[in-house]
């Protein structure tokens, strides 16, 4: 698994945790929304978007019908454990020692910037444009 994928997954988990911190019912509401999705439609739609048929997405998504799955994102060690397990599923070496500390530091940054990260356009609107090459 590439470092960028680990970064993406870590950010997703920490954003979910941030939402649960500011809105404690978020995990329950998310689980209910996932449970309402028709598994056959989910498998079909994902397979149509993917470059090849995808099997088992509905089964994987079904795990998220339990709020406890998301609530695990509130714990740095659990986030690290889950990321390590995902990496091992795709034949990656174990995460380095100290990754748990990285998760803890990243969690602080996500808390500080959570609103901006979750607000459409808030980051891109504040990003200065690149200087032009014609000076």
Q: Comparing C-alpha atoms, which of 17, 22, 63, 71 is closest to residue 39?
A: 63
Output the pLDDT for position 135: 43
Query: How many domains in the chain?
Result: 1
Q: Which domain holds residue 79?
A: 3-125
128 vs 40 pLDDT, higher one: 40
Predicted TM-score of the model (pTM): 0.77
Task: Tell me the average pLDDT across 57-63.
Answer: 84
57 vs 135 pLDDT, higher one: 57
Split at pLDDT 50, 70, 90, the class of 4 is: confident
Domain membership of residue 100 (yes or no) is yes
For 16-34, the pLDDT digits (tens) are 999 999 999 999 999 999 9
130 pLDDT more than 70:
no
Q: Comparing C-alpha atoms, which of 70, 71, 41 is closest to residue 58?
A: 41
User: 17 exposed, middle or buried (CB, 10 Å; 0-12, 13-18, 19+)?
Assistant: buried
For 71-129, the pLDDT digits (tens) are 999 999 999 999 999 888 878 889 999 999 999 999 999 999 988 888 888 766 554 44
Domain membership of residue 133 (yes or no) is no
Domain membership of residue 131 (yes or no) is no
Domain membership of residue 134 (yes or no) is no
Output the pLDDT for position 124: 62
């Amino acid at each position: 698994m590439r470092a960028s994928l680990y970064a993406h997954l870590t950010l997703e988990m920490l954003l979910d945790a941030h939402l649960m911190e500011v809105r404690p019912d978020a995990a329950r509401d998310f689980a209910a929304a996932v449970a309402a999705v028709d598994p056959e439609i989910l498998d079909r739609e994902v397979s149509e978007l993917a470059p090849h048929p995808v099997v088992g997405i509905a089964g994987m998504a079904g795990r998220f019908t339990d709020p406890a799955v998301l609530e695990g994102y509130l714990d740095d060690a659990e986030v690290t454990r889950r990321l390590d397990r995902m990496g091992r599923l795709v034949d990656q070496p174990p995460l380095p020692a100290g990754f748990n500390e990285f998760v803890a530091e990243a969690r602080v940054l996500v808390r500080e910037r959570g609103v901006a990260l979750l607000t459409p356009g808030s980051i891109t609107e504040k990003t200065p444009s690149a200087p032009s090459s014609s000076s």
